[in-house]
Structure 1
Amino acid sequence: MLSKRPYLIPAFYDWILDQGHVPHLVVNADAPDVMVPARFVEDGHIQLNINPSAVRDFHMDRVGISFEARFGGQPERVFVPMHAVRAIVDRDSGQGATFPDEPEETFPQSDGDREGAPAPTSSGKGRPQLRAVPGGEETASEKSGSDASAGDSPEESDGSGPDDDPPPTSPSGGGKGGPSLRVVK
């Protein structure tokens, strides 16, 4: 059976942030594949502030949590596999969740281990990427009669608003020969 930890940690993280509080992780620094600054480890554990204002390039998936943070003024890259997380807590209230030791086999070894779901492709930075999607451009004649509804005000339906019309592009959908974005309402 798979561990519940990779599902609960993101939920607690979101819950703590939604309250406007600061999430902290308690990590078993001696677990395999953990990358944390050893000089801040106490009794085999380290507590990490994972508030968005304290970290850069934060990425969390079912395999682990990675980010860059400053320790003693020096930037450090951190990676914490899910099996090494002992607790996630709200620094302000102390509420959160602690996790018992579990066999490492119960954790996904890659985010693609999820049954029936393909592994996401990434550039290694854990950041979303935009890409051009082929699609037809709607012509002005098609637009004029198709998107005005009974509840629209005249200003919205006559196309005079600043965001109503996309900039002119070539018929291929790409201005100056490249991909473009189109307005979808």
Structure 2
Amino acid sequence: MLPIKPYLLRAAYEWALDSGFTPHLLVKATVYGVVVPNDYVEDGRIVLNIHPDATSNFLIGDEGVEFNARFSGRPFEVQVPLPAILGLYARENGEGISFPADDMFSQESEEGEDHQESGAPEKGTPRGKPDLKIIK
């Protein structure tokens, strides 16, 4: 069976763009396979602007989200596997979609292992529901 998450992400992304909003992706940066610039990770999470003006080669695939972007003028290839995606929301009003942390499928980096090119923190974040809230 195909995962539903990429379909929901594509729908929320298109909705944000069609509404004239700036889509942002909330990512758990400690999940294995996440490649993001470590300088912008806070509390094991990072928020990424995924508007077409901020990215190139953007793709929401069945395995995750990937794109190229610039961070402080430096080019960076971002890779976010599906289990690391906590939500997609509009910057302007906070509306969007959130996902529970896929603890069963997300393999957080073990201390001492060097799985991530990003140099993201090796420690896990507290378990529980994501901090995203729907604001109307």
TM-score, normalized by length of structure 1? 0.54
Q: Deviations over 1:67-120 (max 9, x none)?
A: 111111111110011111001001111100111022328xxxxxxxxxxxxxxx
Q: Which runs of 5+ in 1 are unaligned?
A: 106-185
Q: Runs (4+) of structure 1 moved beyond 6 Å? A: none
Relative CO higher for 1 or 2, CA cutoff 8 Å, sep ≥ 6? 2
Question: Contact conserved, 2:9 with 2:88, CA < 8 A, in 1?
Answer: yes
Q: Percent identity?
A: 44
Rounded to whole Å, the distance in 1 between the matches of 2:47 and 2:71 is: 12
Q: Which runs of 5+ in 2 are unaligned?
A: 107-136
Higher-strand-fraction structure:
2
- How many residue pairs are counted as aligned between the two chains? 105
TM-score, normalized by length of structure 2? 0.73
The answer for the alignment partner of 1:23 in structure 2 is 23
The answer for the alignment partner of 2:72 in structure 1 is 72
CA RMSD of aligned residues (A): 1.5
Higher-helix-fraction structure:
1
Q: Deviations over 1:19-77 (max 9, x none)?
A: 11110000000001000001110000000000001001111111111111111111111
The answer for the alignment partner of 2:82 in structure 1 is 82
The answer for the alignment partner of 1:104 in structure 2 is 105
Look at both structures and tell me which one has the larger radius of gyration over its CA atoms: 1
Question: Contact conserved, 2:35 with 2:79, CA < 8 A, in 1?
Answer: yes
